[in-house]
Structure 1
Amino acid sequence: YIDRLTEVFRELRRVLRSDGTLWLNIADTYCGTGNKGYHADPKNPKGRNGQQIARNNRVSGCKQKDLIGIPWLLAFALRADGWYLRSDIIWQKENPMPESVKDRPTRCYEHIFLLTKSKKYFYDAAAIAEPLAPTTAARYRTGRSAGQKYADEIPGQGKVQGLNRARSGSYYDEALMPTMRNRRDVWLINTVPYKGGHFAAFPPKLAETCIKAGCPKGGVVLDPFFGSGTTGAAARQLDRHYIGIEINAEYCALARARIGGTEK
């Protein structure tokens, strides 16, 4: 599985622009009995390609019930194959799929790896910046007193423009105050219902965030696992072009309907 995906992404790297980015969302799974099973979604019990799934039998180095570590196995394989591994983003969900397990916590996150073709690449940090917490903004606005070294009195705080100087009045000019900060690598994005039959659909906000940061307006977004077209719909809404590749003809029909405006 890892070897095959590495081959697929090698071809994607070949056609990617030199300043392009890869945003890879992949979930983990557990080593099971080896018997065939079904996905947990009652609308699509046979998974992405309409087939039964194998429960990870005979995974080298794994015992039954072991967490396999597929995301990191793939990330390391891609790095060894030439990709630059730049970030491990945690996609946290407050409404994860229920699990019946009683001997471990319920899974509520997935990995999103940011990988690049080159050392220098397009990344628009401002497009996905997040607001400062109100308390942080208030501390920055009052700045530091003459006897303080830092605006928030925490040693090691980096310099913030307009803050690390003694204030002349009660407050600094609000025009100098930062209101946004660089996006952190834990993203709280809940899943959203989709009435189509695609099991692995992810929320549009997730696709939009990756596209805003990793692709300039007018650029092209390529999704080799297009599914129901979430990425294409997001790209179109954000004034980007898209190319979608999907092996399942039924999902292609879903994507055409969705992007054409008949499915919301």
Structure 2
Amino acid sequence: MSELREPYWHDDHAAIYHGDAREVLAEMDEGSVDSIVTSPPYWGLRNYCVGQYGQEPTSEAYVENLRATFAEARRVLADDGTCWLNVGDCYAANSDGWSRGRDYNPRQPEVRPKARLAVPPKNLLGMPWRVAFALQEDGWILRNAIVWSKPNAMPQSVRDRMSNRYELIFLLVKQQHGTAMRPTGEPHAAAHPNGRNPGDVWSIPTRPLRAEHFAAFPIDIPLRAIAAGCRPGGTVLDPFTGSGTTGIAARQLGRQFAGIELHAPFIRLAGARIREAGAASGGMR
């Protein structure tokens, strides 16, 4: 294992490293983080930079890329740690009807018909489950498939199926025993010791981010995951840091944070957001 590179951005409680997630993870010490909360780029959706995950030519290549990366993440995670993984789904032949926007992957219509998928167009591909089963086969223990229900989900201009109103968050662990869930209650009281187990259906509205990053998940998700699955004072890792939402949640709950991000402008955005969150709360609790 090589020496861990210098962080691109850091302060007293958080550090974000610039580079490919798998390569940076390979430099990190075994068992050095207590919880992983992350959402990798979805396959074939947005194209932020060269080398970004989600731009693989086939679904199989995407799944294998994540499997190999999370093999390193599993090594870095403490034996009693938790991994919370949000992965989005998509449809064969670009028939999902989503608004594309300027950062939509322009190669998507060409890629998917050639992606060696044994399904005709308009099929839901089940990408989250393809990833989850690959990680399960690789040694991860899949404890929950949490439904993130979106009460304010964007409408979709489709007439031959139902509009999508949820995503999946997988809870994965390393061992069969010894990983305890801390009761959380609702997100803003998540660290209260008398909170309740939130169950596996989370109704959490989306929160638009008026910044360069357009796919940030709401802070309520990492707040709940960290409170439930990271020991007090522990370290939270996000290998796909993006706009830094997981880092903000970690700071709010008094945890250390380590992030990895390939796209340097996102690191600058994440660092500024984490710093502002710390200043607004008077520092780390």
Deviation at 1:236, TM superposition (A): 0.6
Structure 2: state its 5+ residue gaps. 1-61, 188-193, 281-285
Aligned residue runs from structure 1 range 227-246, under 5 A: 227-246=242-261
Deviation at 1:40, TM superposition (A): 3.0
Q: Which residue of 1 aligns with 2:227?
A: 212
Is the Cα contact below 8 Å between 2:141 and 2:173 reproduced in 1? yes
Please identify the structure whose Cα radius of gyration is greater: 1
Aligned partner of residue 208 in structure 1, secondary structure: helix
58, 61, 72: which is aligned to 2:118?
61
Deviations 1:196-225 (A, max 9, x none): 121220101111000001101111111001
Deviations 1:230-251 (A, max 9, x none): 0001001100001110111111
Aligned residue runs from structure 1 range 50-199, under 5 A: 52-55=106-109, 56-59=112-115, 60-128=117-185, 181-199=196-214
Q: Which residue of 2 aligns with 1:170?
A: none
**Relative contact order, higher structure (CA 8 A, sep 6+):** 2
What TM-score does the superposition give when structure 1 sets the normalisation length? 0.73
Deviation at 1:103, TM superposition (A): 0.8
- Provide the C-alpha distance between the structure 1 equivalents of 2:268 and 2:97, rounded to a whole number of angstroms: 23
Aligned partner of residue 170 in structure 2, secondary structure: strand
Could you tell me the percent identity over the aligned residues? Answer: 44
Deviation at 1:126, TM superposition (A): 1.7
Distance 1:24 1:4, change over 3 A: same
64, 72, 83: which is aligned to 1:11?
72
- Provide the C-alpha distance between the structure 1 equivalents of 2:108 and 2:204, rounded to a whole number of angstroms: 29
95, 99, 113: which is aligned to 1:40?
99
Is the Cα contact below 8 Å between 2:97 and 2:156 reproduced in 1? no
- Is 1:28 aligned with 2:89? yes
- Provide the C-alpha distance between the structure 1 equivalents of 2:176 and 2:126, rounded to a whole number of angstroms: 26
Distance 1:53 1:260, change over 3 A: farther
Distance 1:12 1:39, change over 3 A: farther
Deviations 1:90-112 (A, max 9, x none): 00001112211111111010000
Structure 1: state its 5+ residue gaps. 131-178
Deviations 1:115-170 (A, max 9, x none): 0011124333422479xxxxxxxxxxxxxxxxxxxxxxxxxxxxxxxxxxxxxxxx
Deviation at 1:180, TM superposition (A): 6.6
Q: Which residue of 2 aligns with 1:258?
A: 273
Is the Cα contact below 8 Å between 2:184 and 2:195 reproduced in 1? no
Is the Cα contact below 8 Å between 2:236 and 2:257 reproduced in 1? yes
Distance 1:41 1:195, change over 3 A: farther
Tell me which amino acid in the other structure corresponds to 2:157: S
What TM-score does the superposition give when structure 2 sets the normalisation length? 0.68
- Provide the C-alpha distance between the structure 2 equivalents of 1:27 and 1:119, rounded to a whole number of angstroms: 26
